[in-house]
Homo-oligomer: A and B are copies of this chain.
Amino acid sequence: MSATLAADEALDRRRRAGEQVLPMAGGEIGLPVLPELRRRLAAAADANAYGPVPGSQALRASAAGYWERRGLATDPGLVVAGPGSKPLLFALLLAVGGDVVVPVPSWVSYAAQARLVGARPVPVPIAAGQGGVPDPERLRAAVTAARAAGRDPRCVVVTLPDNPTGTVASPGTVRRLAALARELDLVIVSDEIYCDLVYDTSVPAESPARHAPERTVVTTGLTKNLAVGGWRTGVARLPDSGIGRALHGRLVSVASQIWSSPPAPVQAAAAYAFGEPPEVTERVAASRRLHEIVVRAVAGRLTAAGARVAPVRATCYLYPDFGPLRDHLARAHGVHGGEDLVRFLGERHGVGVLPAGAFGELGDPLRIRVATSRLYGEDDERRTAALTAPDPLELPWIRRYLEQFDTALADLTGARVPRA
């Protein structure tokens, strides 16, 4: 079971039972649907034909334009849409075949998906601050060793920007990764679903598609930038190369057997969104600003409490390391690892987070992933207010959430609860 979805559901049950819970486990974006996007979906409610397996021509052309505006010329004929980028990633693993190199830590589903298709993940740690990209220094050794052991790694998954660390690997790291992938003949699957959530828009995440264009598949969706996870829509951009065209054929074939086509009414709305008219761009900008303000507020609290947190540059995730507090946590609470942290915060304080182990880390390190995207309010009215508030941190419901977080942190670390 996907750890994020399971944790979200457990917390929802507690909330329904009347508890005040602080949902920081799953990365669902708690923001309303942009009204124009909602209208587009409603207007397409009569769309009941399957349409082409890789999605409508309108959607593929629109997604191609989206990538072109980000410096990646794209043939709409090499775009494949699916019911979420998660199914696309799964189908890509099937289409590429063989084993899969995954960064550690990385999103819960890459390794799980690899196992489902009978592949084995080849875990490679990231370098500090370079979340989402296997450390190039270690990648070659890991792949060489795996091949020597009779395994068949054929692709490497990267996340740019990164979940769970909220960091963005540097262009240098991405360049080295791309060069190594070419040397080792690996397909790169670059999950760029957070690409519009880099706070400083003048320094976007570097895509490996710039450096190894012949072998990089880019995936994205509208789940994170426009908060429509429940609509299930994602797109993949396949390389314009021999590798890419062969992979495209296999991907469409797999898609035709697993899901037929993406939901037709959603495709219409997605085609509009990827076209990025001004209201979409403005909404994404407002969301990005809100994420940054809230995630930085939480990061500040974690740092003040003594945890180590890499400087967050994107997304709505933090990946604090409580190692510096190891002795205190063991002595005061019997907390020795990420699993203990999750239990302590969840059971004593209704704060839902995920242990580092859910992201592929071995040995249950004293780390958790904290997602801040569901602190904006419980209904659309509050969430809309959060999007437009001059200082979202002053909104009473967000303050209450942060106070609950402060109380939990203070109890954990033995500090005094700070006063607002």
Contact = CB atoms under 8 A, between A and B. Distances in A.
A53 to B, nearest CB: 6
Contact of A45 (B8, B42, B109, B380): B42
Given A48-B227, A232-B263, A257 B2 contact: yes
A227 B49 CA distance: 8
Interface string A205-248: 00000000000000000000001111110000000000000000
B116 A231 contact: no
Contact of A262 (B26, B232, B264): B232
Nearest to A53: B5
B46 A380 contact: yes
A74 interface: no
A109 B5 contact: no
Nearest to A112: B257
A256 B6 contact: yes
Nearest to A380: B46
Interface stretch (A79-87, A133-141, A142-150, A309-317): A79-87
A73 interface: no
A94 interface: yes
A310 to B, nearest CB: 27
Contact of A256 (B2, B83, B260): B2
A393 to B, nearest CB: 24
A118 interface: yes
A173 interface: no
A271 interface: no
B46 A32 contact: yes
B230 A47 contact: yes
A254 interface: yes
A87 B256 CA distance: 10
Nearest to A29: B48
A32 B46 CA distance: 7
Interface string A357-372: 0000000000000000
How many monomers of this protein are in the complex? Answer: 2
A38 B264 CA distance: 13
Interface string A24-68: 001010001100001101110111111111000000000000000
Contacts of A129: none
B42 A230 contact: no
Contacts of A230: 47-51, 261, 263-265
Contacts of A259: 83-84, 86-87, 232, 259
A52 B10 CA distance: 10
B227 A84 contact: no
Given A1-B252, A257-B109, A231 B263 contact: yes
A337 to B, nearest CB: 24
Contacts of A39: 45
A117 interface: yes
A117 B50 CA distance: 24
Which residue, A41, A112, A380, has most C-beta atoms of chain B within 10 A?
Answer: A41
Contacts of A45: 33, 38-39, 41-42
Interface of A: 1-2, 5-6, 8-9, 26, 28, 32-33, 38-39, 41-43, 45-53, 83-84, 86-87, 90, 94, 109, 112-113, 116-118, 227-232, 249, 252-254, 256-266, 380
List of 4 A-B pairs having minimum Cβ-Cβ separation, nearest first: A230-B264, A42-B42, A2-B256, A38-B45
Given A1-B253, A51-B230, 7 more contacts: A1-B53, A9-B53, A32-B46, A83-B232, A87-B258, A232-B263, A232-B264
10 contacts: A26-B50, A32-B46, A32-B48, A41-B41, A42-B43, A48-B228, A90-B257, A113-B258, A229-B260, A231-B263
